[in-house]
Amino acid sequence: MLKKERATYIHAELERLYPEAPIPLDHTDPYTLLIAVLLSAQCTDARVNKITPGLFARADHPEAMALVPVEEIEAIVKPCGLAPRKAKAIQRLSEILRDDHEGEVPQDLAILETLPGVGHKTASVVMAQAFGVPAFPVDTHIHRLAQRWGLTKGKNVVQTENDCKTLFPMESWNKLHLQIIFYGREYCSARGCDGTKCPMCKTLYPRRVNPVKVNKP
């Protein structure tokens, strides 16, 4: 298959497997989604979903969170890992939203990326899932699968994102990035497949015999 043919097949197959692609992080609005995505760095979504109810019971909007002592936030989010850094980011970004944005999460990718603890991927998720703005957030899992599936040779997630945006229609991006994550967890995980074992990899590359060496982001 040519690269575009692979992309077309992948899109159709993921749509068949995952016609619904709910956001795996529990949230109620853009702010709680932003905090949940921030906490998900180097942490599973399942663990984040266990932590956020307690955190949001304490404060679920910027004005309230800005007043919570950072030590208290840290104690709540400790199971998510990187707690000191994440707690400081949560409190500081809450202060910024309160003071500079009337307590609202800005619907602007560039502004989101300036918030403490918010990188391009986190900002892209919020733009896509909270505001419906077309975005293609790429984490290490999507980067790995895109390499295995021959969609990119990117050496970083930015290049992988750009390549995927070129291959897939814009209207599919917000759903597709979740579908790829779901497929990776179920069939093509880091340990469960090396580019030669899962149904997608075997279909796309039936003659492939050697494991795929992924360019680490």
The catalytic site residues sit at: 121, 139
Q: Report the interhelical angle of 30-39 vs 83-100 (nearest 10°).
A: 160
Q: What count of residues does the chain have?
A: 217
Q: Please report, as a single letter, which amino acid is at residue 150.
A: G
The DSSP 8-state label assigned to residue 214 in this structure reads P
As a whole number of angstroms, the distance between CA 116 and CA 33 comes to 15
Please list, residue by residue across 165-204, b when 16 or more beta carbons sit within 10 angstroms of its beta carbon and e when fewer do: eebbeeeebbbbbbbbbbbbeebbeeeebbbeebebbeeb
Helix residue ranges per DSSP H, the chain = 3-17, 30-39, 45-58, 62-65, 70-77, 83-100, 109-113, 120-129, 140-148, 157-167, 173-186, 199-204
As a whole number of angstroms, the distance between CA 136 and CA 119 comes to 14
Structure tokens at 74: 């840290």
The DSSP 8-state label assigned to residue 171 in this structure reads G
